[in-house]
């Protein structure tokens, strides 16, 4: 069934495929912004005392992250994570134009979000007062979004690897792609 928007567009000479492509390009740009904004905004927070304190139960309560405190101290661990998040955000910004940035952003993003999502396995994330599973507490609500961000990161990584195999050509409709040809492999 065709929507009214598609029917009107066809009357104006705009094909459904054009609309499909536009929706995909816009959706992918929004998805890319949805990764960049939290990485940037949460990344800059990592340099504040409030965030250093907020990370204490998350890092300290996760066995595979707890080593960060003895190695870097609380502030140092927070600053390291912030630097990684800000670098990853910058790489995601460059990813539509650069194959290398796309691969690096996708890889760093996937690693970052896989680690943060994995903390849900070690931390209490269910709201006991509401009966536990499936009701998320504040920590679970904060962390569950990282599953989607992990997925977007993997898409950017996969598309970057595909572009590398294609000789660096950008392909219309890819994650945030400006539909221009670039060769930076």
What kind and span of H or E run contains 20? helix 16-45
The tens-digit pLDDT sequence of the chain (185 residues) is: 555 555 555 666 656 678 888 898 899 999 999 999 999 999 999 999 999 999 999 999 999 999 999 999 999 999 999 999 999 999 999 999 999 999 999 999 999 999 999 999 888 888 888 887 888 888 888 889 999 999 999 999 999 999 998 876 554 455 545 444 444 54
Q: Is 130 exposed, middle or buried (0-12, 13-18, 19+ CB in 10 A)?
A: exposed
Locate the domains of the chain by residue range.
4-165
Q: What pLDDT sits at residue 50?
A: 97
Q: What pLDDT sits at residue 185?
A: 46
Q: Is 1 exposed, middle or buried (0-12, 13-18, 19+ CB in 10 A)?
A: exposed
Q: What pLDDT sits at residue 170?
A: 54
Rg of the chain over Cα atoms, rounded to whole angstroms, equals 20
At 126 the three-state DSSP class reads: strand
Q: What share of the chain is helix, strand, coil (3-state, %, to 5)?
A: 70, 0, 30
Q: What pLDDT sits at residue 174?
A: 54
Q: What pLDDT sits at residue 10?
A: 60
pTM for the complete prediction?
0.79
């Amino acid at each position: 069934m065709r929507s009214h928007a598609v029917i009107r567009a066809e009357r104006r000479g705009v094909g459904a495929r054009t609309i499909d492509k536009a929706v995909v390009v816009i959706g992918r740009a929004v998805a890319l912004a949805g990764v960049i904004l939290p990485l940037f905004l949460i990344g800059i927070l990592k340099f504040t005392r409030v965030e250093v304190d907020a990370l204490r139960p998350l890092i300290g309560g996760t066995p595979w992250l707890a080593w960060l405190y003895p190695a870097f101290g609380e502030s140092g661990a927070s600053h390291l994570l912030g630097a990684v998040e800000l670098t990853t955000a910058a790489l995601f910004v460059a990813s539509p134009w650069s194959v290398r940035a796309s691969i690096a952003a996708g890889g760093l993003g996937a690693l970052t979000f896989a680690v943060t999502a994995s903390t849900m396995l070690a931390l209490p994330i269910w709201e006991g007062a509401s009966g536990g599973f499936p009701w998320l507490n504040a920590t679970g609500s904060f962390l569950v979004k990282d599953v989607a961000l992990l997925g977007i990161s993997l898409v950017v990584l996969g598309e970057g690897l595909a572009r590398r195999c294609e000789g660096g050509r950008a392909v219309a409709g890819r994650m945030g792609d400006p539909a221009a040809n670039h060769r930076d492999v």
